[in-house]
Structure 1
Amino acid sequence: MRPIFLLLVLGLAACREEIAQAVDPVALTPDAVGHFCQMNLTEHEGPKAQVHLEGLPGAPLFFSQVRDAVAYTRLPEQTHTILAVWVNDMGAAGAQWSEPGATNWIALEDAHLVVGSTRDGGMGAPELVPFSDPAAAEAFRADNGGTVMRVAQIPDEAVMAPVSDGAEAEDDSDFKRRLKALSERSGG
């Protein structure tokens, strides 16, 4: 009876063998929505990103901007293990700012990213523009400004800092003026 029990235990152990989770990029479809904004990605211009998390096979988190995906990877409250991050290769054949492509994904860690260019991403924030070819990244930089970097070189401020459209600065000065007037009235 022991040999049968041993075979049963070995058989069950083999069934529990963990299968590696596929992290291949998923084609961008009209149904894809951004993780942060919950808006349809195809309605926004500029490069996109997808993040594959452990335990969520075949269902990556999509991001309307590469900047947002990089910020997500750096958030301290991010709880799942990140298995892969894919970004649109803006140097790929057919990639345009208005239509960055559905299947031209490259690994984020392999990308040459233009940081600080004059081009804003799909949500209106400064964008990190990815290229697989360093020469294409340099050509984009020459036309649009910025600096070519690898993801590990990008400072947190480039992806985590709030974005101002100028209206906040006006509101801030008005707030300071009203605060000063209140302070003067109260004798402070």
Structure 2
Amino acid sequence: MRPALAALLLVAALAGCREEAVPRPDPVAMTKEAIGHFCQMNLLEHPGPKAQVHLKGMPNPLFFSQVRDAVAFRLLPEQQGEITAIYVSDMAKAPWADPGATNWIAAEDAFYVVGSAQAGGMGTPELIPFGTEPAARGFADQHGGSVQRLDDIPAQLVLAPDGPAGTTDAQDDADFAARLKALSANRPEEKTP
């Protein structure tokens, strides 16, 4: 066998063994039928940025009521599917009350405002995505927070328990204690026979 033919056959055989790359799916327009993966609520009922996660072998994406939830989803150890794309709302192109149905950008291309006083659609801390760094910095100047890229956002930030945006751990603890005390005070008296 000629060396050139043998090399060509070897390359063809190795190419056949290689795992096929999954093409990146396009973002899907958000409609009134879009339901949040974690909350199971209609996305259009909540203001602020949204996200969609595409998984290999699934024809439809998973939608998320908050971007933070989608970022957390990709970090969860029990998440088994291969993520082929994550898209987030570009808040530089939409008002907070209506994040837009089609202004999606790839999550890894966005600039995120992290730690602002602005709560997400579910009333908890949010990662607010922008298509440009100047837009993100302008939002951070008005609402607080810092500008970060997706891979720079600490896992503990998105996986931590939710409290209202802008609250401290001490305020969260005090709020929990007050709610627990109120529940205990409102319990009906147990009657003893």
Aligned-partner Cα distance in 1 for 2:65–2:180: 32
How many residues in Structure 1 have an aligned counterpart in Structure 2? 156
Please name the residue that 2:162 is paired with: 163
**Whole-angstrom CA distance in 2 between matches of 1:80 and 1:167:** 34
The 1-side partners of 2:96 and 2:175 are apart by 31
Q: What letter corresponds to residue 124 of structure 2 in structure 1?
A: A
For the 8 Å contact 1:21–1:54, the answer to whether it is kept is: no
Q: TM-score, normalised by structure 1?
A: 0.77
CA deviation vs aligned residue, 1:19-71 (integer Å, no higher than 9, x gap): 955610000001100000000000001000000000102x0000000000000
Deviates more, 1:163-172 or 1:152-161: 163-172
Question: Which residue type is aligned with residue 73 of structure 1?
Answer: R
Q: Which residue number corresponds to residue 8 of structure 2?
A: none
After superposition, residues 76-155 of structure 1 pair within 5 angstroms as: 76-92=77-93, 95-155=94-154
Structure 2 vs 1, CA of residues 77 and 106 (structure 1 numbering), >3 Å: closer, same or farther?
same
Structure 2 CA distance for aligned equivalents of residues 157 and 34 of structure 1: 22
Shift in alpha-carbon separation, 1:153–1:27, aligned structure 2, 3 A: same
Q: How far, CA to CA, are the matches of 2:24 and 2:135 in structure 1?
A: 30
CA contact 2:55–2:85 (8 Å) conserved in 1: yes
Cα distance in 1, alignment partners of residues 121 and 156 from structure 2: 19
CA–CA distance in 2 between the matches of 1:83 and 1:125? 27
CA distance in 2, matches of 1:19, 1:173: 53
RMSD: 2.1
CA distance in 2, matches of 1:167, 1:139: 29
Describe the superposition over 1:143-168 as per-residue Cα deviations: whole angstroms up to 9, x where unpaired: 11000000111111221111234575
Alpha carbons of structure 1 residues 123 and 170: separation in structure 2 relative to 1, 3 Å: closer
Matched with 1:32 is 34
2: CA distance, partners of 1:174 / 1:37: 22
Alpha-carbon separation, structure 2, partners of 1:132 and 1:174: 40
Cα distance in 2 between the residues matched to 1:162 and 1:91:
28
Given that 2:24 and 2:85 are in contact with CA atoms closer than 8 Å, whether structure 1 keeps it comes out as no
**Change in CA separation of 1:170 and 1:112 when aligned onto 2, cut-off 3 Å:** closer
